[in-house]
Amino acid sequence: MTWQIALVFVLLAATLASFMREKFPPDLTALALLVVLIATRLLPMEKAFSVFANPAPITIGAMFVLSAALVKCGAIDLFFTLIERSAGWYYGVVVGLLVLVVGAISAFVNNTPVVVVFLPVVLGLARRMQLSPSKLLIPLSYAAILGGTCTLIGTSTNLIVNSIAVAKGLPSIRMFELAWLGIPTLLTAAVYLAIVGRRLLPDREMLTSILSSEERREYITEAFVQPGSAVPGKTIAEAGLTHRRGIRVLELVRDGIPISLETPRLRLEAGDRLLLACRPKGIVHTRGIAGVDLISELNVGLEQIAAHEGSIVEGVLAPASELVGRTLRELKFRQRFRMVVLAIHRQGLNLREQLDSTPLRAGDVLLMMGTDPAIQALRAGQDIILFDQAPLPARAMNKRLPLAMAVVGAIIATASLNWVPIELGALAGAVLLCATGCIKPRDAYHAIEWNILFLIFGMLAMGHAMEHTGAAAYVAHNIVSFVNYVVPLDHRAIVMLACIYLVTAVFTEILSNNAVAALMAPIAIGVAVALHVNPQPFVVAVMFAASAAFSTPIGYQTNTYVYGVGGYRFGDFLRIGIPLNVLCFVTAVLVIPRIWPL
């Protein structure tokens, strides 16, 4: 082992540790890795910057745009009626149908927007079936993951691994070639979830269930502390503005400046303006407090916030949201969105204390209250995805749906027939959809998850560094030597294929699937070359295993989404996901050698 190989392993360990600790965003860690590889001369600068010419990230970015255009034009809306009409059917039939429908869509549309769009539909279906949403949301996520394994464009990991294989001189995977493995696995998962889902999936409360029926009927109003009364100098509790009396103080404004309610020894002063959320009995009690008067009943020349009935909604924080990493206080959340956060759901816990000082994370579910106009304004944004109601069909864009579907169909057809490279077809299609108004250029840029692309660039650089320094060959040689020592000659190739699959699948449960794909593909190809067998089965194994993340809520982005929404705990994914991982492993080991001979 040379010092270059040793240093590469140290950097790789540090990178994986940073991914697991989540102190820094994964894309920042990956870019920092790229800089360090160049600075330490483990990778020549020309070779390092060549990753930005890799066609896979370009194709992935274009596919984000194509998926967003299909969603905006209402392509997914066509399936809503089919799902909604299944409410009266048997649970197993509903789950099986849900898995097949969502899986079929995810084979061509990026799986994250599919899950986001179907969230309110599935929540409404759960209400009509009188089921906890947690009985349906994990199957929704798993279906989106498995659907992406059925085609070359179904998930970004397929495109990354394929680009690495092509760069090493291997033939490209055809558009529908992966369906030989993806479809049997999707059908297996549908049967498995239909049979055991009701028993293994938990009954978990959603965030709104922590509120009583009376708490859901609150009114937002504003009060004024009268000068010369007995209230100035008292704390909020001493003034009688308590939750027990049906009153919650949302904000205190003094001299035009919001004052933190967590300020020690906070006492009211004359002229203070209080934003209150009151139950009906709270309104009555507030009127009875001498010295605290509702502004709507006064004529004091102040800008009034009349009493409005506050609606309770839930929303999940989008991964690319600019709110991530900042506290509600830093964001001035109420002033910015005219909404009040009542609770935050994170990693199976409902947080109701010190909300203003809690940094937000991607995947957090926020329980919020606001007026109908404020909710509609929030719904129009892209930082928080509301799921209080099913999205309206995109009627204004439906006329462009045939054009959008024709463009995507043409991309798939030309790539399948090897007429046009997939990266050129996808990029041309994205440009055409923008030019024809199927999606606005601004929305197209916003649809691209740039953090994923830069993560891929950084990990591709690590793959190049492992090859350049000989680290990949070193790992492959030692793995093959060990297998040759303990496994008979006739079974070495299939055992090594199973090992590559298992290592990739385990890494995927705790790291980014794209990072694992970029890391494991060169090693898998090196192992196949060292064994003197066909590398393509190993390429397919890495493709599939890098997406097969069912046992943790952090292994795949769609799992993270439903984790908060469904009120799941970490162990829920282990209980339902580990058997599915075993089924996928067995299916892959049986199918891959038959379709792609070793």
- Of 293, 308, 323, which residue is a domain's last? 308
Rounded-to-integer distance, Cα 532 and Cα 194, Å: 42
- Dihedral sign computed on CA atoms, order 151, 155, 161, 167: positive
> Taking residues 506-519, what's their average pLDDT?
84
Tokens encoding 592: 């891959």
Pairing of strands 339-346, 273-278: unpaired
- 108 in any annotated domain: no
Query: CA-CA distances (angstroms) from residue 181 to 16, 76, 217, 395, 463?
Result: 29, 25, 51, 37, 26
Placement of tokens 């205190």 in the chain: 252
> Taking residues 291-296, what's their average pLDDT?
60
Q: Would you state the pLDDT for residue 286?
A: 64
- State whether 335 and 363 are in the same domain: yes
Type and span of the H or E element at 542: helix 536-545
CA atoms within 13 Å, Cβ hemisphere of 246: 19
Domain count, the chain: 2
Rounded-to-integer distance, Cα 431 and Cα 446, Å: 15
Q: Tens digits of per-residue pLDDT, 191-218? A: 999 998 888 888 876 655 555 444 445 5
Q: Would you state the pLDDT for residue 301?
A: 40
Q: Measuring CA to CA, which residue among 535, 557, 538, 562 is closest to residue 547?
A: 557
Query: CA-CA distances (angstroms) from residue 273 to 144, 258, 290, 291, 390?
Result: 49, 9, 15, 12, 37
Rounded-to-integer distance, Cα 192 and Cα 379, Å: 36
Residue 63: how many other CB atoms lie within 10 Å:
27
Residue 209: how many other CB atoms lie within 10 Å:
11
- State whether 331 and 370 are in the same domain: yes
- Of 281, 308, 335, which residue is a domain's last? 308
> Taking residues 560-568, what's their average pLDDT?
77
DSSP type of residue 263: S
- State whether 287 and 353 are in the same domain: no
- 349 in any annotated domain: yes
Q: Residue 250: helix, strand or coil by DSSP?
A: strand
- Of 334, 355, 386, which residue is a domain's last? 386
- State whether 286 and 349 are in the same domain: no
Looking up residue 254, the CATH number of its domain turns out to be 3.30.70.1450
- State whether 222 and 251 are in the same domain: yes
Instruction: Give Cα 95 to chain centroid, integer Å.
Output: 21
Q: What rounded mean pLDDT belongs to the chain?
A: 81
Let me know: does 531 contact 85? Beta carbons within 8 Å: no
Rounded-to-integer distance, Cα 314 and Cα 596, Å: 46
- State whether 297 and 254 are in the same domain: yes
Q: Would you state the pLDDT for residue 587?
A: 93
- Dihedral sign computed on CA atoms, order 68, 73, 77, 79: negative
Tokens encoding 391: 């999205």
- State whether 285 and 362 are in the same domain: no
- 341 in any annotated domain: yes
Tokens encoding 34: 């790229």
Tokens encoding 83: 């799902």
pLDDT at 572 over 60: yes
| Segments forming the whole domain that contains residue 281 | 210-308
Indicate the range of 110-114, 390-394, 520-524 predicted with least confidence: 390-394
> Taking residues 577-591, what's their average pLDDT?
93
Rounded-to-integer distance, Cα 127 and Cα 118, Å: 14
- Dihedral sign computed on CA atoms, order 330, 335, 339, 340: positive
Q: How far apart are the first and last CA of the chain?
A: 30
Q: Tens digits of per-residue pLDDT, 392-438? A: 444 455 678 888 889 988 988 988 888 888 889 989 999 999 998 88
Indicate the range of 221-230, 268-277, 296-305, 318-327 predicted with least confidence: 296-305
- 317 in any annotated domain: yes
pLDDT at 183 over 90: yes
Let me know: does 466 contact 8? Beta carbons within 8 Å: yes
- 346 in any annotated domain: yes
- State whether 217 and 303 are in the same domain: yes
Placement of tokens 């889902």 in the chain: 197
Q: Would you state the pLDDT for residue 579?
A: 93
Rounded-to-integer distance, Cα 241 and Cα 252, Å: 12
Q: Would you state the pLDDT for residue 281?
A: 57
Q: Residue 354: helix, strand or coil by DSSP?
A: coil
Query: CA-CA distances (angstroms) from residue 62 to 110, 115, 125, 462, 468?
Result: 11, 19, 33, 24, 30
Placement of tokens 């034009």 in the chain: 73
Q: Would you state the pLDDT for residue 578?
A: 92
Confidence grade of residue 190 (pLDDT, cut at 50, 70, 90): very high
Question: Could you tell me which residues are beta bridge partners of residue 276?
Answer: 221, 249
- 534 in any annotated domain: no
Name the more confident of 229 and 299: 229
Type and span of the H or E element at 9: helix 3-21
pLDDT at 460 over 60: yes
Percent of the chain with pLDDT strictly greater than 70: 86
> Taking residues 129-143, what's their average pLDDT?
88
- State whether 257 and 339 are in the same domain: no
Name the more confident of 248 and 546: 546
Confidence grade of residue 100 (pLDDT, cut at 50, 70, 90): very high
- State whether 281 and 332 are in the same domain: no
Rounded-to-integer distance, Cα 179 and Cα 147, Å: 9
Q: Cβ contacts of residue 570 below 8 Å, gap of 6+?
A: 347, 348, 552, 553
- 97 in any annotated domain: no
Instruction: Give Cα 403 to chain centroid, integer Å.
Output: 28
Q: Would you state the pLDDT for residue 299?
A: 45
Q: Measuring CA to CA, which residue among 585, 569, 372 is closest to residue 499?
A: 585
Q: Would you state the pLDDT for residue 417?
A: 85
Q: Residue 49 corresponds to which amino acid? A: F
Residues in the chain: 598
Q: Measuring CA to CA, which residue among 361, 278, 353 is closest to residue 327?
A: 361
Name the more confident of 302 and 43: 43
- 148 in any annotated domain: no
Q: Residue 365: helix, strand or coil by DSSP?
A: strand
Q: Would you state the pLDDT for residue 296?
A: 47
pLDDT at 72 over 60: yes
Q: Would you state the pLDDT for residue 179?
A: 92
